[in-house]
Structure 1
Amino acid sequence: MIERDRILNNDDQRELSERERQILHKIVHLYILKASPVGSRFLSKYIEKEMKLSPATMRNIMSDLEDLEYISHPHTSAGRIPTDKGYRFYVNSLQSFEKLNSEELSAVKKTLSQGDSDNLLKNASKILGLLSKYLGIVKFPHLRDLIIQKIELIQLSSTRLLVVLALESKQIRTVTLEADCEIDSGDLDALSIYINERLTAKPLKFIRDNFADIIRDSDMINTPLVRLFTESIEKIFASYQSSERVHIAGTPNLLDYPEFETPERFKGVIELIEDEDVIIHLLDNIEYKDGVIISIGAEHENIVMSDYSLIKSTYKMGSATGTIGLIGPKRMNYGKMITIVKYVSDYLSKHNDYN
């Protein structure tokens, strides 16, 4: 499913005719291919097998499309280029999407079949960048949504304790606790049995929010060991709270496009990449939504993204949800990019490491 946002614009006062729709689609398509403004004479020749239109008629239609703000007229050229509204029309009117070829499919499987889950997600950003030639981005899932499968309490010394949280999707988190008195091995065994009976098969966030109530019913409530746990609950769960990470790959790719040749545009690329909070916010906007979401230029809340398009989708890691996406110039092959994002997100969700 493709989630298609559209620009709300006061100029949407009428529907385009079928001929206008076809011509607008061709203008955007040609501009994506050639990165140069599309002129009426060239366009007339390009579509002459589909419809016979003189350059004069074509100019009139293009003028109407410009009045409706689907295309614009650069000062240095007689041709037209798409506006954000024009790109949005193009994306919304896509009827088919390019498939990945055998080499691309092999590259995805080879890249995403290596390493643990953290490396897998880093590799996902790399394959997104490699296939798209844009920025590939992966936001790691919130560990707080993962289900606890087992809790191990391992005594390291008379006062030191290792807590091992075994989560779904083969995630392991450990934390060391230091008691102010000797740990009783009998209490440790009893607490281990008690918390595993009550905390397994529940998400981390539930345990953090309800641990005090859960442990209050225990006969061990007043033991030093339980007090240690209760006082250390923030430390135990700090790792999942700070686990919101983003991995970006393909930075050099954007510099190959004419849109980013000027120093000002180059600076904008660097600022975007360095501001991880912006990236996280962009990807957070679709948390838990299905399908592929496309945002173009001014549709982004942040002005930093006004020159870019973002294609993004969610993936599942057990009960947790992460986000992948790619960022590139608005002049991109949307049909192919949508396929890449959808395929990689589906692959991550189905990968054996997550089950």
Structure 2
Amino acid sequence: MTESGLTPRTVEVLHSIVQSYIETGEPVASRTIAQRRKDHLSPATIRNIMADLADMGYLAQPHTSAGRVPTAKAFRHYALSVSQHRSGGADFARLREELIEHPGVEERTERTTHFLTELTRNVGIVAAIPAASQTLERVELVWLPDRRVLMVVVTGDGMIRNQLAQLKVPVSPAELESIRNYLNLEFSGWTMTAIRQELDRRLAEERAAYDTLLTRLSMLYKQGLLEMGMTPLVFLDGTSNLLGLDAHLTTERLRELFRALEEKQRLIEMLDQFLSGRTDELQVHVGLGEAHPALSQFSMIGIRLAATGGVETRLAVLGPMRMNYPRVVSTVSLVSHLLRSLPQ
């Protein structure tokens, strides 16, 4: 018996049912499974096995005279059994080359999303989540003509982020130097979260309105200083692949689904919810109705990668329950392995 209480033969029958249902979308009869097998089990024997599987919650019978259909429990069992082979090939060599050529977090995240969609023909989702423990090493502020300032933030993990600020009032190079010295002296070594909280407190004090340095600092702060690289990046690709799916969605439900997938915060919450397990471990979720009613007939296969360079990566493929699990599982596994192997 396996850990789930299934014998090897029962597992073979279960997986044959899942594969047949993925291919046809029709309830599966015992005779169909008997014809697929090489050991010549009789339809009667298979019917008994199917009855046991139904009792254990792996199969359902939509109509009395119809065959059986796999439940979410069955799909998950099948997906977890699929080999996570890492044979790679030309496609993965191409992705690796592209990611090495474009080391920026945003570019890597976006390209990985497109790649997941291209290979699986489902919806690819990749998020880069800044680690809450990131600390400030130093700030550099570069004066530019036309009231512009190049803001550079270096964090303790060695990451360098920059952003151009357009100010409404002029700031002199000397004032920028004072702001830079103030931030580096006061906050070097602090976490970015703690710095923002303390600055919010100091800038809210009445004296800040009369302090020239804090007034100038406030302008840069409102332009995104100390927020650079702290906002999660989320990319989604392949929603057009949802059109034409036999997922029993009304036109209105499909619109609701598209709207939900367009919301960045909703995507982050969904990844938090379904990729909450251990890092570097493939996770399979079948039936996502708790995230959105329109997702009840969908599956998500993904993985959460440990933070490197101050950023945690979460990647997933969203598709119908009747997705090609071997293709999706191997793609997610190989892409995650590839990302871990890239130079930082």
More moved, 162-171 vs 236-245: 236-245
**Residue 247 of structure 1 corresponds to which residue in structure 2?**
235
Equivalent position of 1:58 in the other structure = 46
Distance 1:173 1:223, change over 3 A: same
Q: Indicate if the aligned counterparts of 2:30 and 2:47 stay in contact, CA closer than 8 A.
A: yes
Other structure's SS at 1:53 match: coil
Partner of 1:28: 18
Q: Secondary structure at the match of 2:180?
A: helix
Counterpart CA distance in 2 for 1:61 and 1:158 is 77
Distance 1:24 1:145 in 2: 45
> In structure 2, what is the Cα distance between the partners aligned to 1:265 and 1:54?
42
The answer to whether structure 1 residue 137 and structure 2 residue 129 are counterparts is no
Aligned match of 1:106 = 93
| Unaligned runs of at least 5 residues, structure 2 | 204-209
Q: 2:330 corresponds to which residue?
A: 339
1:170-214 Cα distance to aligned partner (Å, 9 max, x none): 43234455669x7582x6435534533554455422322344799
Give me the whole-angstrom Cα distance separating, in 1, the residues matched to 2:88 and 2:313. Answer: 26
Change (3 A) 1:349 1:207: farther
Most deviating of 237-246 and 312-321: 237-246
Q: State whether structure 2 residue 109 is matched by structure 1 residue 118.
A: no
Q: 1:58 to 1:297 in 2, by over 3 A?
A: same
What is the distance in 2 between the residues matched to 1:328 and 1:114? 30
Query: Cα–Cα, structure 1 residues 44 and 184, in superposed 2: closer, same or farther, change >3 Å?
Result: closer
CA RMSD of aligned residues (A): 3.9
Residue identity matched to 1:302: H
Residue identity in the other structure for 2:95: V
Residues in 2 aligned to 1:108 and 1:175: alpha-carbon distance in whole angstroms: 34
Partner of 1:328: 319
Task: Check 1:349–1:173 CA distance in 2 against 1; reply closer, same or farther (3 A cut).
Answer: farther
Gaps of 5+ in 1: 1-13, 216-221
Q: Is the 8 A contact 2:124 2:238 kept in 1?
A: yes
Residue 45 to residue 63, structure 1, CA distance change in 2 (3 Å): same
Residues 160 and 302 from structure 1, CA distance in 2 versus in 1: closer, same or farther, beyond 3 angstroms? closer
Q: Give the percent of matched residue pairs that are identical in Structure 1 and Structure 2.
A: 26
* Alignment CA distance shift 1:190-1:233 (3 Å): closer
For 1:170 and 1:242, the matched residues in 2 are separated by 12
Q: What whole-Å deviation, never above 9, does each CA across 1:260-292 have from its counterpart, x for those lacking one?
A: 797567546534433444322111233694022
Preserved CA contact (<8 Å) 2:165 2:220:
no
Q: What's the CA shift for 1:58?
A: 1.2
CA offset digits 1:83-133 (Å, max 9, x no partner)? 1121122234x1632434412322322443444432221111100101111
The whole-number CA distance in structure 2 between the counterparts of 1:271 and 1:159 is 39
CA contact (8 A) 2:178 2:213 kept: no
Which deviates the most, 126-135 or 144-153? 144-153
Tell me which residue corresponds to 1:44. 34
TM-score by length of 1: 0.76
Give me the whole-angstrom Cα distance separating, in 1, the residues matched to 2:56 and 2:228. Answer: 49
**Is contact 1:69-1:85 (8 Å) kept?**
yes
| Distance 1:294-1:59 versus aligned 2 partners, 3 A rule | same
Higher alpha-carbon deviation: 252-261 or 109-118? 252-261
Quote how far apart the aligned CAs of 1:336 are.
3.2
**Amino acid of the residue matched to residue 46 of structure 1?**
R
> Aligned equivalents of 2:160 and 2:64: distance in 1?
57
Q: What aligned pairs does 1:191-340 form with structure 2 within 5 A after superposition?
A: 191-197=179-185, 199-200=187-188, 202-211=190-199, 224-229=212-217, 233=221, 235-237=223-225, 239-240=227-228, 243-255=231-243, 257-259=245-247, 263=251, 266-267=254-255, 269-285=257-273, 286=275, 289-290=278-279, 291-298=281-288, 300-315=290-305, 316-340=307-331
